[in-house]
Amino acid sequence: DASLTSCFSADQNIKRESGRKVQTGNISAAKMLLDPMGGIVMTNDGNAILREIQVQHPAAKSMIEISRTQDEEVGDGTTSVIILAGEMLSVAEQFLEQQMHPTIIISAYRQALEDMLETLKEISTPVDTADRSMMLKIVHSAINTKALSRWSELACSIALDAVKTVELDDNGRKEIDIKKYAKVEKTDIEISKEEDFARILQMEEEYIQQICEDIIRLKPDLLFTEKGISDLAQHYLMKANITAIRRVRKTDNNRIARACGARIVSRTDELREEDIGTGAGLFEVKKIGDEYFTFVTECKDPKACTILLRGASKEILAEVERNLQDAMQVCRNVLLDPLLLLGGGAVEMAVSKRLMERSRALTGIEQWPYRAVAQALEVIPRTLIQNCGASTIRVLTSLRAKHTQDNSVCWGVDGETGTLCDMSVLGIWEPLAVKAQTYKTAVETAILLLRIDDIVSGHKKKDKDGQMGGQGAE
């Protein structure tokens, strides 16, 4: 420890905290993210607000960064990770105060996570992805509390159709996108005489003419390129009755190629007949508002698509785009892993009950943190009740009592009224992949922060001139 501290310069302000104080501070920082005044409840998209807020405490920073990986993995559940991880740290505080070693708590948490994931699979329900009405219900569950819910029927159909369009089944393995390789070629040129410049211009014209002849030879109707098109090239192409669209983004080019069955080629002399996409039926340019849009439609078997959003303001469009992304992520998760769980906190109560039952078979002090995980899971239905303004104690007690009865795993909290109801009747579903990833990320975040018991921080002092002091300062 002494050698670690001595590696800092004497001109730096050193602040070091160790032991129980660090662990308590980490838990307190995690709790701060749950404060209703902190901003998380001010938006329907937790990941969006987490991209904007800034925190100074290292534990809170870690929670935010790890929770954002949830969105990258499955596209949903970011806020649930923050809430659940914070609660798991909160219930661990009592064991730290009782001088229980963090490794014992961590061991119990890991065992609980295994049992949680096992229980999720047991209570999950398989879904027929070909059942459009059921798939639309699942998507609706993801956006019914968001800004897009006003156009829920249209949005759900768009999201489902878009994901179905880009779905690619390759020998039983589903893929979303195909990346193209990019070829890079370099050349240089040296001019020593004035005559060379005229010759270079002539060579350029000959080169452009050759490129256009390579293209015209295959008799296409439409040409897309990521680069520019010179006036001379446009002249040759127009004479051949070929429409050319220039400076297309690479991502758009890839989608166009998938939609019409074409292949992107880097060199015109490598063009073959099979590289030409013949799947597109109609090409047209439309003016919408003040902008022109190019449409490639009536494709035979498109594996790419474009969703065009129109709105009154940039803010509304940005929110609708986020909501639509969530809806498409839900479709994608269900198509890749067609298993569903009931929402509204029903799953958390069922898993909590199962953990409490299994904890009775445990011996030793690990049973207490194991049971604490079961207690922490109740934070999800409790938060739903609080957001509705209902009586937390009364409704949560009723929900616990309901789950002690047989065949009651489907009962949860109505997110609008705060009352108990059958989630299967209400039609609130969520993918198993999202819930499993939420539990994994939340538990691993709590474990990561429980491991930390020593923080060393410091910064360089400023000298009289306002410059940074210490070795190496200029």
Continuous segment of H or E residues that includes residue 421: strand 420-422
Number of H helices, E strands in the chain: 18, 13
Tell me if residue 45 is catalytic: yes
Q: Do 23 and 448 touch, CB atoms closer than 8 A?
A: no
DSSP state of 339: E
Q: Do 95 and 368 touch, CB atoms closer than 8 A?
A: yes
Contacts by 290-295 with C-beta closer than 8 Å and gap 24+? Answer: 294/245
Who contacts 251 (Cβ-Cβ below 8 Å, separation ≥6)? none
Considering only CA atoms, which of 432, 381, 379 is closest in space to residue 88? 379
Who contacts 145 (Cβ-Cβ below 8 Å, separation ≥6)? 44, 415
Cβ-count burial of 16 within 10 angstroms (0-12 exposed, 13-18 middle, 19+ buried)? middle
DSSP state of 163: H
Q: Which of 79, 438, 441, 445 is catalytic?
A: 79
**Encoding tokens for residue 300?**
């035979």
CA pair distance 298, 169, nearest whole angstrom: 21
Contacts by 386-389 with C-beta closer than 8 Å and gap 24+? Answer: 387/41, 387/415, 388/413, 388/414, 388/415, 388/416, 388/417, 388/418, 389/418
Tell me if residue 278 is catalytic: no
CA pair distance 73, 71, nearest whole angstrom: 5
Considering only CA atoms, which of 110, 111, 95 is closest in space to residue 447? 110
Q: Which of 76, 78, 383, 441 is catalytic?
A: 78
Cβ-count burial of 458 within 10 angstroms (0-12 exposed, 13-18 middle, 19+ buried)? middle
Which strands make up the sheet holding 125-126, listed edge to edge? Answer: 125-126, 339-342, 429-431
Q: How far is the CA of 215 from the CAs of 222, 261, 262, in angstroms?
A: 10, 17, 14
For the chain, what's the residue count?
Answer: 474
Name residue 396's beta-bridge partners.
Answer: none
Tell me if residue 169 is catalytic: no
Q: Which of 326, 383, 441, 445 is catalytic?
A: 326
Active site residues: 45, 78-79, 326
